[in-house]
A = this chain, B = another copy of it.
Amino acid sequence: MNLADYIRTVPDFPKPGILFRDITTLLAEPAVFRQAVIEMAEPFKNEKIDVVAAAEARGFIFAAPVALGLNAALAPIRKPGKLPYKTKSLTYELEYGSDTLEIHADAIPPGARVLVVDDLLATGGTIEACCRLVEQVGGAVVGCAFLIELTELGGAKKIERYKTVSLVKF
């Protein structure tokens, strides 16, 4: 099974000139979705992962089953105003403008070993923000796992201090 065969490319989304990698065609095939989750978790199964952290929304699709597969907790990272309890937030720069993410202050037990999961590694801004948030609330980031990596955007550079796995590279 070649996971890349199940990812649809949609041209000119969200704007002209962008080739969008659409994961919904992969999610439509249960055996393929299962295989992707297994392959994202596999490299970390001996890393004693306590918590899987992920940013909404697509990140949750992979992080939830990866967490269950690793017998780890799931710590959601969200847009501002979504998490009800005490939070830590972090604002980071995008190509145009900035974005903010939040995590519950008690989401990560002190010293917990954390795997950060997302569907896609592009410029790395979001995953770097997630890793920093995890560290700010006391976690130890062990690694990052992605379904897709857009290699020419160079996001891997931003998280090179962690063990990183991406299943499909474009």
Q: Is the CB of B85 within 8 A of A22?
A: yes
Q: Is the CB of B24 within 8 A of A76?
A: yes
A3 in the interface, Cβ–Cβ < 8 Å?
no
Q: How large is the interface on A (under 10, 10 to 19, 20 to 34, 35 or more residues)?
A: 35 or more
A10 in the interface, Cβ–Cβ < 8 Å?
yes
Selecting from A40-48, A67-75, A121-129, A154-162, the interface stretch reads A67-75
User: Given A33-B74, A57-B56, A64-B60: A85 and B8 within 8 A (CB)?
Assistant: yes
A97 in the interface, Cβ–Cβ < 8 Å?
no
A16 in the interface, Cβ–Cβ < 8 Å?
no
Contacts of A84 in B (CB 8 A): 10, 13-14, 20, 22
A141–B72 Cα distance when bound, in Å, is: 32
Q: Is the CB of A30 within 8 A of B67?
A: yes
A1 in the interface, Cβ–Cβ < 8 Å?
no
Min CB distance A81 to B, Å, is: 7
- 14 A-B residue pairs with Cβ-Cβ distance under 8 Å, sorted by A, are A10-B85, A24-B85, A28-B107, A30-B71, A30-B73, A57-B57, A57-B78, A57-B82, A58-B60, A60-B60, A60-B64, A61-B76, A64-B64, A65-B65
A168 in the interface, Cβ–Cβ < 8 Å?
no
Q: Is the CB of B24 within 8 A of A104?
A: yes
Q: Is the CB of A75 within 8 A of B27?
A: yes
User: Which among A10, A29, A68 has the highest number of chain B CB atoms within 10 Å?
Assistant: A68
Contacts of A153 in B (CB 8 A): none
A79–B119 Cα distance when bound, in Å, is: 18
